[in-house]
Each structure stands twice: as C-alpha cells, then as structure tokens.
A and B are shown apart, each in its own frame.
Chain A
Amino acid sequence: MSEADTKLHPGLNLGPSHGEAHEEAEVVLFGFWVFLMSDLITFGLVFATFATMLSPMSIAGGPGPAEVIDLTSIAMQTTLLLLSTMTFGFASIAMKYEDGRGRIALWLAVTALLGAGFVALEVKDFIHMASIGAAPSRSGYLSALWSLVGLHGLHVTVGIVFVGVMIAQIFALGLTNQVKSRLLRLALYWHFLDIVWVGIMSGVFLAGALSA
C-alpha cells in the first residue's frame, strides 16, 4: 500500500490523486474533530439540563410535552435534514472524483435549500408555540426545550451560511487544496448536526410524545 492510499484522518479522504492535499488536510481535519468533540459536550450539557427539566415542578403549570410537540412537523424536519446529509454526501463524492465545480456547487445548493426548509419548519413550530402560550419565559421546561432545539437550529443556520460561503469560494478561488479541505470540514459539521438531531428527535420529541 503506497503512502497516498493510507487513510490519514477519519472520514472521507481525498484519495490517491490528492497526495499533497491529503497531508495538508490532516492537521486541520483532526483539529476540527477535536472541536466537534467539544461542541458535543455543549450539546450534551444542554440536553442533560433539558432532561432535568421534565418534572411537573419545572413545567410549573405551563404547557407540557403533550401541548407543544407536533410529531408531523418533526417528521418532516427529520426527513429534510436526513436528505440534506445525503446531498452533502453527493457533493463530497463529486469532489473526491473531480466531477467539476458545477456539480459540487449544485449539490451544495440543494443541501442548503433542504437545510433552510428544516429551519423554516422549526421557526414555524416556535411561532406556533409562542402563540399558544408556550414561550420560553413560561417555564423552566420550556426554557430548556427552546434552548436545546434553538441551539441546534442556530448551528444549522450557521452551516447554511457556511455552505453559501463555500459555494462562493468554489467559484472565486477554484478547487484549491484549501477549499477542498474546508469542504471536508463543513461536511463533518453537517453530518455531526444530523447526528445531534437524531438525538434530539428521539430524546426530546419521540420520548416526549410517548410519555405525554
């Protein structure tokens, strides 16, 4: 096995034709993994806080899971986000096999649109919650719920902006090693958010709907 064939970092490696890009990508990608680990702690803590805020005392007479969880909307959001992670995968594969900027940018744009759809549905749910008196200032439970879901939504929004920036860079800078390495990191970020969402969907919404 030649050096170029070895995997240098977990996740999609750029393949033998990218020997040098490979090497450069290694340190930054590893660093990004460490960042994601740290971010995972953040999500974990907000999640844990939410878990302690399910008691009647924290619900404080306000709306509980039964009133605020809309599983249909959650199912749609989940579908959009899972699809977007797939389309990002297509973008990564297009990059790996050098299918040209157009193809990569197209898949990225689709990803961003799906992500935007997800955020739009989430915002719609939030507006609905506020209208039925389930604003975060109503109770500790609702504060925790809004924060956890909002934190994830904020991450997705940042990701969408990132995707936009990367589409611009693909055309402005070309597929340089640096741009590719950034795309690899953005991919990690996007898939990471997907995994976190699966946690939120099952731990917050499904479990909440079942217990309600």
Chain B
Amino acid sequence: MDSFLFGRLTFDDIAIFNVFRDFSMNELVASGAGWLEVLAAVGVVGLLTYYRVWGVFWREWLCSQDHKKIGIMYMVIGFVMMARGVAEGVVMRAHLATALDGGILAPQHFAELFSTHGTIMIFFVAMPFIAGFMNFLIPLQIGARDMAFPLMNLISLGLTAAGAMMLLVSLVVGQFETGGWAAYPPFTGKAFQPGVGPDYWIWAIVVSGFGSMLSGINFAVTIYKMRAPGMTYMRMPVFCWTALCTAILLTFAMPPLTVAALMQALDRYLDFHFFTNDRGGNMMNYANLFWMFGHPEVYILILPAYGIFSELTATYSAKTLYGYASLVLATMCIAVMSFTVWVHHFFTMGNSATVNVAFGIATMLIAIPTGVKMYVWLATLWRGRVRLTVPMIYLGGFMVLFVLGGLSGIILANPTINYQVHNSQFIVAHFHNVILPGVVFAVLAGVHMWFPKAFGFRLEERPAKISAVLWIVGFSVTFLPLYFVGLLGYPRRSASYSDATFEPYMIVTALGSLIILAAFVTFASVFWFSWRNRAALAVPLGDPWDGRTLEWATPAPVPEYNFPVIPEVASREAFAVEKAAGRPYVAPDEYEDIHLPAPSAVGFMICVAAGVFSFAMVWWMWWLAALALLAIPTILVVRSFSPDRHIIIPAAQVKAETQAWMRAIDEARGVTRDEELTNANRGYARTDLQEAA
C-alpha cells in the first residue's frame, strides 16, 4: 500500500476534504479550520505579492541576523499560533457546554483539540514569545551590538518555525495525536495510535526543542560574555537576570524532552521497547524524562515574565526597583529548585509515600522565593509615581490572580490532596491560572511597553485598556469556576459528562471563553488602530515612558547597530541614574565604522530542510527524509568554507544619525509623566527632577 514516492500519504489523508466525505457538525468544524488556515496562507502570499514586498521580506527579515528583527519574528510566530490556540480553546469550551451526554464534536476530535491546543500554546505560543523578548531585549539591555552567535540565532528561529509548521500542516494533512501535550506512551505508542498523529508531535517537538536548546546557549553566552564595560552582574537589569536563569534552564531542560521524544520515535519507528507495555518497556521512564523537562519548562516561561513585570513596575512607578538583590537571589533559587520537583506531576503513579512527601515539600518551598518577588513588586509600587497605563493594568490582574494560581499550586503540592484532584478540572484551572495571568499577561504588557522601542510609535491606549480588562475578566470567568468543577469530580480531558450538575458551570466558562476571544480580537485591532495613527503616536526620541535601563537611551526604532559606540556603564539602572544626574544623552567623542553580520539565507534553508525532514518522517517518505537530513550538515559545511561576510556602516553615517537625534532631543520639550499618554509624547521624558526645577 505504501508507495515509494509518497510513503503512507494518500489522497484520503488530506483532512480538509473530509467534510465532503462526511458532512457533519464535527467535520464542519475540523475541515473548516483547515480551510481557514489554507485561506490565511494564500492571503498572506497574496498580500506580499500585491504590495510587491517579497524582496524586502526576504532580505530584511528572513535573512536578517539582527537580533531585534529575529525577536520580532518570534513574536509574530507566537501571535499567529495564538490565534489558532485561542480559537481551539473556544471551540473546546463550546463543545463542553453542549457535552451533557454528547456534544457537538466527536470524542476523537475533542482529544485532538486539547492535544494540539496544549502543544501549540506551550511550544509555539509561550516559548516563541519568551524567545522573542529575550532576543529583542538582552543585547540592548547589556549594551551589546548583537547576540554572541547571530547566525545560530537565525537557525534557532528557523527550527522553531519548522516545528510550528508541523502543527499547522497536521490540521490539513492527516491528523494529530490524541494523547495531550505530554503525549504519554504507551497511549501514543504504535499499538494504540498507529497513525501519523504522534509522529507529528514527535518531530515538531524534536526540531523546535533543539532550536530552543541552541538559543539557550546563545542567550547564556551573550549575557556572560558580551556585557558592556562596567555592566557587572549586579548592575544588570532584572530582566537580564531572569533571562540568564532561563537560558541555563533551556540548556539543561531541553535535552530531557529531546531524549524522551526520540526514544518514543525509536519505539514507534524501529520497534524499540523503551515505553511499550510488553517486552520490558517502562512507561515511568517517559514520565520522568518528560517532566524533568516539563517542570523546568514552566519556569522557562515564568521567569522572563517576572523579569518583564519587574521592569514595568519600576518604570511605571518611576522608582528604583525595591530589593534588587533579593529579587536576583529569588530568581536563582527558583531556577535551581525547578529541577527538584518534577515528580509532583505523577504523585499518583506508584511512588512510595516517602518520595511523594519529599517532592511535595520541595514543591511548596518554591513558594518562598516567589513570595519574595510579590513583596518586592508591592514595595516598589509603594509611594511610587504610579500611572495606570496598560501594562500596569495587566500587572494588577497578575498580582491578584497569580497569587490565587500559586496558592492552588501549593494545594496540589500536597500529595494527599493531589490524589483527590489529580487529572480533574482543578488542574486545568490551576495551570491556566498561572500561565495566563503569569506568562500571557506579561507578554501582552511587555508588548505594550516595548512596542514603541521596536517600531517607533506607541500603541493606542484606549482599545489596549479595553483588551486588558477583557483579558482579566475573561480569564476569571472562564477558569476560576473550573476549580469548583474539579472539586466536584469532573475529570480533565473528558469529552462529555452525564452529571447535569456540571452543565451550568460549563455554560458559564464557555461564555467566559468568548470574552477571552473578544480580548484577543481587541488586542489584535490595537495594532491596526495604532498603525493608522502612527504619525501622531510616533516617539522617535526613544524614551516614551521615562525608562530606566539602557535600551531606552536609544532612538526608536533602534538603529540596526543599537549603539553608536558601546556604552560604558557605571551603575544599576544606568539610564535613570544619568537622567537624575542631569547628563543623559552624551554625544560620543569619536565614531568608528560598525561591522555587522551580513544577511544570510542559512537560517531559512535549515528551516526548510528541517520542515521537509519532519514531514517526510511523519509520512514515511524515506528518500525525502534522508535527503533533507543530509541537506542540513551540507548547508553548514559549505557555509563554513566561506568567510563570514559583514556589512559596514560607515562612521560618517553613524555620526550623522546620532547627531540628528541629539539635536532633536535638544530642541524637544520633555513630556511630564502626566502627559505621557498624550500626543505631546515624542519620546523625550522630562524627569521628575526637571519637573521640580
């Protein structure tokens, strides 16, 4: 049946035609989503062609080694995938609202939905968002021109994109697995799921996971080795500290995932017996390997979010961050402890009571450094010059809701209670409660805060405020009731229920998910409104919020070379200190030619090769898989024979640009904090000191 050319792929596998084969509500939703995706892809290609921007897109984005652009591309991947993730969440909620003794979707379809939703949200929304922020901010905050390994950075992006592609393709060709985002064997093994679903998961995870590991190395080395003169560790912005800890987690926590996924691949492809039921396989090895990644993963996501919240707390209350040292220490504690608690994900799977107790206590201990952070943020707000801007609204939502999520985590850390609520909706409530207000709110707040830095104009406040409130309300209505549903005994990942008690709750949470959908759409519309009004919102001078760290001491958008000369740092929150001393923006005495890495197609080529390899492996097109796999080292080896190419930005150009910017600052009227949301804000903040004078 398998053909040499197409492996096990046949015409019948093209899932978007299923609706013509079997016309039902279920297929309408499934194929409809597939068609939407195809249309969206065609639309993007059409738009790029219509505006004739392929050349620019190729040269200035896909091939760019500029860390800022790479960061922005990560964010774009995150947003695109988030659109699908949110839509799936709403569809699942809609199904569950009707699922008393049935529901609009087939159980198999529901299972695919929570599997793709979870996989997408964790690996292709949250991870790219975090990687995006780290790429954009780290070199700017430590006063560097670029990452330590710009080309490897581009390759990491390509691998992430290739993995995301696999999830998009699985909606159109074939189907996804039904074993959740953790893809536990033996259920995802060959015996139970002989189809392509688990293979899509495996290769998406292996490819993107390898990319994440490489970016972890890149971030860590950048922070260790590329800091500007004077930027000692204890002068680094807090975001860089959280990024450093995250980078270390990425380097050490991604291998367990890759190993687990590859062992599963060996089981499925070559009949190995790591995790099978028969012939000496042991599924507990998978549980351990997966969660040795899985638990640190939640800190990979939340630590940079803490970093973002720390930066915005200080900025929007115009105060030095209270207790910097304790925040740094708490971050390091959390990073280390995150490796010591993984067993709390399977208390019920046959460990001895002693083991469970040890891991339960270890888990609860993490609450201590986390609590430290909460107090640090509160103390920073205390008597600060607080402005209720969009990021601060998210901060408010975060502080209240995240504490709730953390408390439910402590409850879960108690093995005896865990036995009761394990795999119930209580868990669903808990992890959405930490991920949404923790990670997603931080990302949305951070986008609002740093968008002007990246693009040169502010985002419209009013729709963004509406969106922020909708997110907070939507989250609460959708997920807080699930704590009760869980306590009432409704299991997680269950496609239908027979107890009518659950129905009202399910309807409420379905309505809540619509509020979240509205929040997402509103948020997307903010970009549109702001783009239309970009002239009035422009902040070319670069410091719209009275920022405190180095990135704000540059024009907006930041020039490709970041800094005309590498800055020298003499203090923590260097830019704020200089402003307070009345001498920010000192023109450099001398300018030099700046060398930057030239655009390179290597990242894109590796992305294509990795994508083709994954797809070919899923469908058993061995010849294609071998070719694509071979292409990767070939590309790298060929490239290694050609010397690194550079572009040179002449000193004269740097000088002219810098001086023009300095002149504009001299002429500008600084805006006071009360005016920062008005169109008077051109990005030159008048400090409180100047205001007082």
Contacts and interface: CB of A to CB of B under 8 A. Distances in A.
A73 interface: no
A178 B279 CA distance: 50
Given A27-B148, A42-B258, A49-B263, A34 B251 contact: yes
Contacts of B255: 38-39, 41-42, 45
Contacts of A210: none
Interface stretch (A86-94, A140-148, A197-205): A140-148
Contact of A46 (B217, B259, B644): B259
A165 B224 CA distance: 30
Nearest to B284: A52
Contact of B279 (A45, A139, A144): A139
Interface in A50-66: 52-53, 57-60, 62
A169 interface: yes
B213 A140 contact: no
Interface residues of A, number: 40
B554 to A, nearest CB: 23
Contact of A31 (B221, B254, B276): B221
A32 to B, nearest CB: 9
A138 interface: yes
Interface string A164-200: 0100110011000010001000000000000000000
A171 to B, nearest CB: 11
B149 A41 contact: no
Interface stretch (B163-171, B265-273, B448-456, B477-485): B265-273
A37 interface: yes
A38 B213 contact: yes
Interface majority SS (helix, strand, loop, mixed), chain A? helix
B323 interface: no
B251 A60 contact: no
Interface in B360-386: none
Interface string B271-298: 1111010111110010001001000000
Sort chain B's interface into a size bin: 35 or more
Interface string B209-220: 000010011101
A167 B641 CA distance: 12
B643 interface: yes
B462 interface: no
A26 interface: yes
A137 B282 contact: no
A39 B259 CA distance: 11
B272 A143 contact: yes
B280 A27 contact: no
B251 A137 contact: no
Interface string A6-40: 00000000000000000000111011001101110
B429 to A, nearest CB: 32
B557 interface: no
A178 B252 CA distance: 28
A178 to B, nearest CB: 7
A148 to B, nearest CB: 11
B637 A165 contact: yes
Contacts of B256: 41, 45
Given A42-B259, A52-B285, A57 B637 contact: no
Nearest to B271: A137
Nearest to B214: A35
Contacts of B559: none
B304 to A, nearest CB: 19
Residue among B149, B225, B272 having the largest count of chain A Cβ atoms under 10 Å: B272
B633 interface: yes
Contacts of A27: 148, 221, 225-226
Interface string A130-172: 0000001111110110110000000000000100010011001
B566 to A, nearest CB: 15
B274 A140 contact: yes
A102 to B, nearest CB: 20
A136 B272 contact: yes
Contacts of A31: 148-149, 217-218, 221
Contact of A172 (B213, B258, B641): B641
Nearest to A37: B251
B282 A140 contact: yes
B642 to A, nearest CB: 9
A52 B274 CA distance: 11
B640 interface: yes
A34 to B, nearest CB: 5
Residue among A49, A53, A165, A172 having the largest count of chain B Cβ atoms under 10 Å: A49
Given A136-B270, A137-B273, A26 B225 contact: yes
Interface string B244-260: 00000001101110110
A141 B272 CA distance: 10
Contacts of A143: 266-267, 272-274, 280-281
Residue among B218, B255, B258 having the largest count of chain A Cβ atoms under 10 Å: B255
A49 B255 CA distance: 13
7 contacts: A27-B225, A38-B213, A38-B255, A45-B259, A141-B280, A178-B644, A182-B640
Which 9 pairs from chain A and chain B are nearest by CB? A140-B280, A60-B280, A58-B280, A137-B271, A143-B272, A31-B221, A139-B280, A42-B255, A41-B255
Interface of A: 26-28, 30-31, 34-35, 37-39, 41-42, 45-46, 49, 52-53, 57-60, 62, 136-141, 143-144, 146-147, 161, 165, 168-169, 172-173, 178, 182
